Amino acid sequence: MGRTVPAQGRMPFVTLFDGGAGDGPAQVKMIVAYDGTEFSGFAHQPNQPHVRTVGGVLAQAIGKILRHDVQLACAGRTDSGVHAWGQVVSFPSEPGLDPWRLQTAVSSMLGPEIVVRAAELAPPTFDARHSAQWRQYRYTIVNRPVADPFRDRFTWWVPEPLDLRALRLAADPFVGEHDFASFCRRGPEGSTTMRRVLASQWVDEGDGVLRYEIRATAFCWQMVRAIVGTLVEVGRCERTVDDFARLLVAKDRTRAGPTAPPHGLSLIAVAYDGILAGPQ
């Protein structure tokens, strides 16, 4: 007899606890993908219950399945409209929890808008945010005269021709440890805009699709979108590569270009102990 699949949004009928799944304290670690279009970012807004966020919806679903509230830690607090393929979340586990069954139950409730791509039990000291070694974001641009309605939800359409060689040259100086004040919104008093970038490159997928990949130990608020918005000005020949390099030294957000739209950005991967989290 086939397994009954619950209707979307209904409480799945699964047994989540199994004595063979481990009987000590642990953290549940989940790799989550989501379409961020209809969400006001990831971070839960407990003082604004009518604001729909990825973290709030996900925590509510997990809490309904486990029958108790959960507090999620996440690797990257994505902004409104930003997507994820490799977001990582964690929360304390009760003994004996079967992560695969929880993964299936959550995805049945929330998919396809939010899906859990993988789940496992991690050591009790694991924290999705503080244990991460690096994060990788991807920004995708459709650079053609005519927009693509099938890609529009996840890409930025730039109709003007972009100089790919200039884009690549301008992206190179980011690698290393720098003050990214020219590309970050002002954070709380006492916060720093120093960040260490491990990789910064453009990939030509063909057919006018350009992909910017940036990997860093951490990012500041809207950093990737500010970088992309300014890089596009270089690609349009509105700035020179030398002008762009001087922006790092300027440490002045008003000197850089506009913030690129959120829908072209995705959190792609997070690494722990040098290993990418979850299936790629």
**CB neighbour burial string for 164-174, b if at least 16 within 10 angstroms, e if fewer:** eebbbbbbebb
d(CA 25, CA 5): 31
Distance from CA of residue 72 to its chain's centroid? Answer: 15
| 79 part of the active site | yes
d(CA 223, CA 164): 21
Strands 83-93 and 265-272: parallel
- Alpha helix (H) residue ranges in the chain: 54-66, 99-110, 164-171, 223-235, 241-250
User: Rounded to the nearest 10 degrees, what angle do helices 223-235 and 164-171 cross at?
Assistant: 140
Q: Contact 174/227 with Cβ under 8 angstroms?
A: yes
Retrieve residue 99's tokens.
Answer: 């992560």
From 18, 69, 79, 273, active-site residue:
79
Tokens 């995705």 belong to residue: 266
d(CA 96, CA 23): 5
d(CA 8, CA 41): 22
Q: Residue 96 burial (CB < 10 Å; 0-12/13-18/19+)?
A: middle
d(CA 241, CA 139): 20
Tokens 């850089």 belong to residue: 256
Q: Any idea which residues carry the catalytic annotation?
A: 79
